[in-house]
Chain A
Amino acid sequence: MAPQLTLQAPLELPPDQVPAYLETLWSQGLKGSTGAATFSLVVWEPSWLQQQLVRTGRLDGPISGLLSEELLEAARSAVTDCGLPPSTAPSAPELAWALGQQEGHHSAPDLRGQFVDRAISAHRPRRLITLAPTLTADTPLETLVAAYCPLPEERGSGEDACGDVVVLRGGMGAIQQGLAILQPLIEPDLPCWVWWNGSLDESPEVLEALATPPRRLVLDSSIGSPRRCLDQLVERIATGQAVNDLNWLRLRSWRESLAMVFDPPSRQGALQHVVQLDIDVEGHHPVKGLLLAAWIADRLGWHLETSYQLPTNGDGEGIGAEFQRGDGESVQFRLMPVPVGLAKTHPGALVGLRLICAPHGQAPLCVILCSESGGCMRLEAGGVASMELAEEVVPMPNESEEMELARLLGGGHDTTNPLLAAAAPLAAKLLPE
């Protein structure tokens, strides 16, 4: 799906004039329209990777904030050039940081906030506010404003489908200064979504200022240090804020595939006799694997006894844990980083899962799920051939971040998914201190 530019060229205004301009625009310029009664969407859009790839001449502009195929290709070749491990994901902050150490003075037009993915614009956001920090820390604050209305054939007969786009661009200091004008720009009567489209390690004060409840937060727990990612998830869920984690959403096909194995009632009894759970992940970011393990543990009523660091295998340290089942028996858990030749887009993608069930008096059942057949090989070792074997290759989801976000916006939940709310605290406990 091709992204859409705003229909009108954005107007650059002094920051303090933006609220008044928008008020005048809606009351006079777009007379008769009150704007779409939908939601506001605030996007933190640093796009450090794209900015660095453009600066070092590895990618042509413009800077759009979108993860295009060209960008991913350029990022993957940069991984090798920067001497990072091949399992480094393109969106890992380490890559942008490593590129930041390289020379380069290329530039390109910065159109962040002006590209609206059709999946998102189809939901007719009332106001789309983008915060676009630049690489140069002392760039002054620029504010751009554009109003748009869908074409007549797209909007039906209603005039109240119009919205506007506000972009705040500048160095980090300028962005923080811009936060002051942000508050009055957010419609108090409409739901507000905040999409933190960057690392959870950076700019905690900006995150704090943007993502105040009852605003609905969308974040990605695969970007940032695992501890910080999980703590943010847990703390915010505990306050009752609606939190949506794109990393959790990307687990959908794994959860579906595992549930499918146990759909036949004849297999469901085996779930009460799980003795071992192994998860392999790409690189050294364990959050996705921990969330999957925590979801399984929560659904099967396991109690966490202990978790610990496993010795390094060259690709990072693994995590071990022991759970206790409802009947008092123990379940061993291991999460291991494994090397891959071509990393997926986001850090810590799942490679494989193995679940061993040992019902009394019956042959053990071994379930292996993997992202590609190669991923199964390690998990097939260790004598599982003597067990009843159920193997599935998990289909790769092929959706952009914007599609995932659009699905959330379309759904409009004002609470956290209860499965994530239950899994996140357990995942945080699984991560050894």
Chain B
Amino acid sequence: MGATLTNPLRVGLRQERVIPPQCLVIFGASGDLTHRKLIPALFELFRQRRLPSEFAVLGCARRPWSDEEFRSRMAEALAPEVKRHQSAWDQFAACLFYEPVDLQQPADAVRLGTRLEAIDKLKATRGNRTFYLSVSPAFYGSGCRSLAAAGLLKDPSRSRVVIEKPFGTDYASAEQLNRVVQSCGQEQQIFRIDHYLGKETVQNILVLRFANTIFEPIWNRNYIANVQITAAETVGVEERAGYYESSGALRDMVQNHLTQMLALTTMEAPGRFDPEAIRNEKAKVLQAARLANEEEPWKCCVRGQYSQGGSRVNPVAGYRQEPGVNANSTTETYVAMKLFIDNWRWQGVPFYLRTGKRLPKRLSEVVLTFHEAPVHLFDAAGGSPTANQLILRIQPDEGAGFVFEVKAPGSGMRSRPVDMHFSYDESFGEPSDEGYVRLLADAMLGDPTLFTRSDEVEAAWRLYTPLLELIEDAPWQLPIHPYEAGTWGPGAADNLLAEEGLMWRRP
């Protein structure tokens, strides 16, 4: 008899925190994100019985849809899921409503308020609301202003605003946007999403560090020689050329996702598991981070752009050949850099960050490499002993690994490295929730732990300001190095580490 696919005793047990009655209002409900991520995540929460019966989703966009049309469009977009769980969908769909709203029109925001009051009465949602701005970033500020002007944000305990990335395009614009949204509501009402923080393994960095006593004593410059943080994608720019051309890898990945991984890896232990305590520590460590050479930032950063690659049978287009991309584009699809953190824990430890598109593997990981043993007593199979490494795998094959030396079998005393391996799949056997499931639930619960606070966002932008200014003012000093699609980025990136006698990990 074959093994069961999932643990039947686990079914229905994942309902530790139940979302309070409320109405989730999605602006940009006719857009991609709504039917690709948000509604599937909500339907998953519904099937996990984590949504209360006093719950409603109000989709808002300019299109003149009715409630019924919104429901049928969502059902169409989620067809395979709906087919598998038809009766659950029928119940869930009864919670979906739609209101044509243009947030730039004050009258529309007032009408929205009236509709929400009607929904409160119909579904007993208690005036509790989460507003999700899934709209163009250009409308984040004006959207918040319209909601505030209509009085929809005046109760901080019962109204929240979720804002998608990117939050600003540089330090100045992020600061300005923060000023605007904070003039509309209190900081506790603002939930800035970084979907990387919704990943189980990113959250596990906190648990691994602060629920175990063995790591903390060695989690510092005395034991750790360097840290590499990688987020590699195999895909190219796909249909996002319009957005990507103006952002590039630095804004699209480094300022948010990689920086969040950096913060969680390097922050001090919070005094308690409390959103503000955690975010204080993250903000503090980001404020202490700096480029390895701020005076001459081109010496600590390498930009690249993928060129044609693949095989004769499966050729892969270069970035400049992608639809919607300028044929002379200087947008980076790869970026690698070296940072330092000027505090007691991390002084002198180099942090290497890299991300890129069209790399050989899709993976995200944090690798902490420890100092070598002070004396080499044994011959090593590889010439010299391998330094211990702790590898936190964010995706795929989520888990952790620890590389250490053991005695190689045989009569001599030669050492060789082995890998001790923890895998989420092998230990738990259940797939983790999609990041949006976790983040939507947390926003509706009013738990901001996994959302980015204003000072974190500003600190992250400030960290990369010398690079952004250089790209703006003197781009020739930070040239774009081409790399063949399907390789680990430009050779110039290796030079960042070579001066320390290091190499990028080949995962």
Q: How many residues of A contact B (CB 8 A)?
A: 43
Q: Find chain A residues with CB under 8 A from B10 CB.
A: 259, 262-263
B12 on the A face (CB < 8 A)? yes
Q: Find chain B residues with CB under 8 A from A36 CB.
A: 126
Query: Which of the candidate stretches B57-65, B193-201, B285-293, B426-434 sits at the interface with the other chain?
Result: B426-434
Residue pair A156, B9 in contact (C-beta under 8 Å): no
Q: Tell me the dominant secondary structure on chain B's binding face.
A: loop
Q: Find chain A residues with CB under 8 A from B158 CB.
A: 156, 158
Q: Find chain A residues with CB under 8 A from B154 CB.
A: 156-157
Q: Find chain B residues with CB under 8 A from A390 CB.
A: none
Given contacts A265-B426, A410-B20, contact A37 B7 (CB under 8 A): no
Query: In the assembled complex, how far is the CB of residue A106 from the closest CB belonging to chain B, in whole angstroms?
Result: 42
Mark A398-413 against chain B: 1 for CB-CB distance below 8 A, else 0: 0000000001001111
Query: In the assembled complex, how far is the CB of residue A241 from the closest CB belonging to chain B, in whole angstroms?
Result: 13
Interface members, chain A 229-261 (any B CB < 8 Å): 252, 255-256, 258-259
How far is B49's CA from A392's CA once the two chains are assembled, in angstroms? 28
Q: Find chain B residues with CB under 8 A from A252 CB.
A: 13
Q: Find chain A residues with CB under 8 A from B11 CB.
A: 299, 419
A306 on the B face (CB < 8 A)? no
- Chain A residue at minimum C-beta to C-beta distance from B18: A411
Residue pair A272, B124 in contact (C-beta under 8 Å): no
Q: Which single member of B20, B49, B156, B429 contacts A265 (CB below 8 Å)?
A: B429
Interface members, chain A 30-53 (any B CB < 8 Å): 36-39
Q: Find chain A residues with CB under 8 A from B121 CB.
A: 37, 189
B169 on the A face (CB < 8 A)? no
How far is B4's CA from A259's CA once the two chains are assembled, in angstroms? 14
B21 on the A face (CB < 8 A)? yes
A17 on the B face (CB < 8 A)? no
Q: How many residues of B contact A (CB 8 A)?
A: 36
How far is B128's CA from A123's CA once the two chains are assembled, in angstroms? 12
Residue pair B124, A264 in contact (C-beta under 8 Å): no
How far is B470's CA from A103's CA once the two chains are assembled, in angstroms? 90
Q: Find chain A residues with CB under 8 A from B425 CB.
A: 265
Residue pair A191, B54 in contact (C-beta under 8 Å): yes
Given contacts A36-B126, A296-B9, contact A156 B157 (CB under 8 A): yes
Mark B423-453 against chain A: 1 for CB-CB distance below 8 A, else 0: 0011111100000000000000000000000
Q: Which single member of B9, B124, B429 contacts A190 (CB below 8 Å)?
A: B124
A160 on the B face (CB < 8 A)? yes
B8 on the A face (CB < 8 A)? yes
B214 on the A face (CB < 8 A)? no
B1 on the A face (CB < 8 A)? yes
Residue pair B52, A271 in contact (C-beta under 8 Å): no
B456 on the A face (CB < 8 A)? no
- Chain A residue at minimum C-beta to C-beta distance from B54: A412
Q: Find chain B residues with CB under 8 A from A189 CB.
A: 121, 124
Residue pair B126, A38 in contact (C-beta under 8 Å): yes
Q: Find chain A residues with CB under 8 A from B127 CB.
A: 37, 158, 160
B3 on the A face (CB < 8 A)? yes
B120 on the A face (CB < 8 A)? yes
Given contacts A410-B20, A412-B21, A417-B49, contact A272 B4 (CB under 8 A): yes
Residue pair A268, B6 in contact (C-beta under 8 Å): yes
Q: Which single member of A157, A190, A412, A419 contacts B12 (CB below 8 Å)?
A: A419
- Chain A residue at minimum C-beta to C-beta distance from B157: A156
Interface members, chain A 154-172 (any B CB < 8 Å): 155-158, 160
A205 on the B face (CB < 8 A)? no
Q: Find chain A residues with CB under 8 A from B429 CB.
A: 263-265, 268
How far is B8's CA from A198's CA once the two chains are assembled, in angstroms? 34
How far is B124's CA from A407's CA once the two chains are assembled, in angstroms? 17
How far is B127's CA from A36's CA once the two chains are assembled, in angstroms? 9
How far is B430's CA from A217's CA once the two chains are assembled, in angstroms? 33
A415 on the B face (CB < 8 A)? yes
A184 on the B face (CB < 8 A)? no
Q: Which single member of B8, B49, B124 contacts A37 (CB below 8 Å)?
A: B124
Residue pair A264, B120 in contact (C-beta under 8 Å): no
Residue pair A262, B18 in contact (C-beta under 8 Å): no
Residue pair A414, B53 in contact (C-beta under 8 Å): yes
Residue pair B155, A156 in contact (C-beta under 8 Å): yes
How far is B1's CA from A269's CA once the two chains are assembled, in angstroms? 8
Mark A117-152 against chain B: 1 for CB-CB distance below 8 A, else 0: 000000110000000000000000000000000000
Q: Find chain B residues with CB under 8 A from A414 CB.
A: 53
- Chain B residue at minimum C-beta to C-beta distance from A256: B13
Query: In the assembled complex, how far is the CB of residue A364 from the closest CB belonging to chain B, in whole angstroms?
Result: 16
How far is B7's CA from A271's CA once the two chains are assembled, in angstroms? 9
A300 on the B face (CB < 8 A)? yes
Interface members, chain B 19-57 (any A CB < 8 Å): 19-21, 49, 52-54
Q: Find chain A residues with CB under 8 A from B9 CB.
A: 255, 258-259, 262, 271, 296, 299-300
Query: In the assembled complex, how far is the CB of residue B490 from the closest CB belonging to chain A, in whole angstroms?
Result: 41
Q: Which single member of B7, B13, B54, B120 contacts A268 (CB below 8 Å)?
A: B7
Query: In the assembled complex, how far is the CB of residue A328 from the closest CB belonging to chain B, in whole angstroms?
Result: 12
How far is B52's CA from A191's CA once the two chains are assembled, in angstroms? 12
- Chain A residue at minimum C-beta to C-beta distance from B12: A419
Q: Which single member of A265, A296, A327, A415 contacts B3 (CB below 8 Å)?
A: A265
How far is B11's CA from A252's CA once the two chains are assembled, in angstroms? 13
Q: Find chain A residues with CB under 8 A from B120 CB.
A: 37
Residue of B7, B53, B154, B157 with highest tally of chain A CB at under 10 A = B7
How far is B431's CA from A265's CA once the two chains are assembled, in angstroms? 12
How far is B18's CA from A301's CA once the two chains are assembled, in angstroms? 28
Residue of B6, B19, B53, B154 with highest tally of chain A CB at under 10 A = B53
Q: Find chain B residues with CB under 8 A from A271 CB.
A: 4, 7-9
How far is B10's CA from A255's CA once the two chains are assembled, in angstroms? 8
A266 on the B face (CB < 8 A)? yes
Q: Find chain B residues with CB under 8 A from A415 CB.
A: 53
- Chain B residue at minimum C-beta to C-beta distance from A414: B53
Residue pair B12, A264 in contact (C-beta under 8 Å): no
Residue pair A156, B49 in contact (C-beta under 8 Å): no
Given contacts A255-B9, A259-B13, A263-B430, contact A413 B53 (CB under 8 A): yes
Q: Find chain A residues with CB under 8 A from B54 CB.
A: 191, 412
A418 on the B face (CB < 8 A)? yes
Residue pair B7, A407 in contact (C-beta under 8 Å): no
Q: Find chain A residues with CB under 8 A from B13 CB.
A: 252, 255-256, 259
Query: In the assembled complex, how far is the CB of residue A390 from the closest CB belonging to chain B, in whole angstroms?
Result: 13
Q: Which single member of A123, A263, A301 contacts B7 (CB below 8 Å)?
A: A263
- Chain B residue at minimum C-beta to C-beta distance from A295: B9
Given contacts A37-B126, A259-B9, A413-B52, contact A268 B18 (CB under 8 A): no
How far is B7's CA from A327's CA once the two chains are assembled, in angstroms? 18
Query: In the assembled complex, how far is the CB of residue A149 from the closest CB belonging to chain B, in whole angstroms?
Result: 14
Query: In the assembled complex, how far is the CB of residue A179 from the closest CB belonging to chain B, in whole angstroms?
Result: 25
Q: Find chain A residues with CB under 8 A from B2 CB.
A: 269
Mark B403-437 against chain A: 1 for CB-CB distance below 8 A, else 0: 00000000000000000000001111110000000
Query: In the assembled complex, how far is the CB of residue B450 from the closest CB belonging to chain A, in whole angstroms?
Result: 20
Interface members, chain A 350-382 (any B CB < 8 Å): none
Q: Find chain A residues with CB under 8 A from B426 CB.
A: 264-266
How far is B392's CA from A314's CA once the two chains are assembled, in angstroms? 55
Residue pair A157, B53 in contact (C-beta under 8 Å): no
Query: In the assembled complex, how far is the CB of residue A409 from the closest CB belonging to chain B, in whole angstroms?
Result: 9
How far is B8's CA from A258's CA once the two chains are assembled, in angstroms? 11
How far is B5's CA from A269's CA once the two chains are assembled, in angstroms? 9
Residue of B126, B158, B425 with highest tally of chain A CB at under 10 A = B126
Residue pair A269, B155 in contact (C-beta under 8 Å): no
Q: A158-B155, A410-B18 are in contact. List 7 more A-B contacts (CB 8 A).
A: A38-B124, A38-B126, A263-B10, A264-B428, A268-B3, A268-B429, A269-B4
Q: What are 10 inter-chain pairs, A to B, with CB distance below 8 A?
A: A37-B121, A39-B124, A158-B155, A189-B124, A263-B430, A264-B426, A268-B7, A272-B4, A411-B18, A412-B53
Which 6 A-B pairs give the minimum distances between C-beta atoms?
A411-B18, A412-B52, A156-B155, A414-B53, A269-B3, A265-B429
The chain A residues found within 8 Å of chain B, CB to CB, are 36-39, 123-124, 155-158, 160, 189-191, 252, 255-256, 258-259, 262-266, 268-269, 271-272, 296, 299-301, 327, 407, 410-415, 417-419
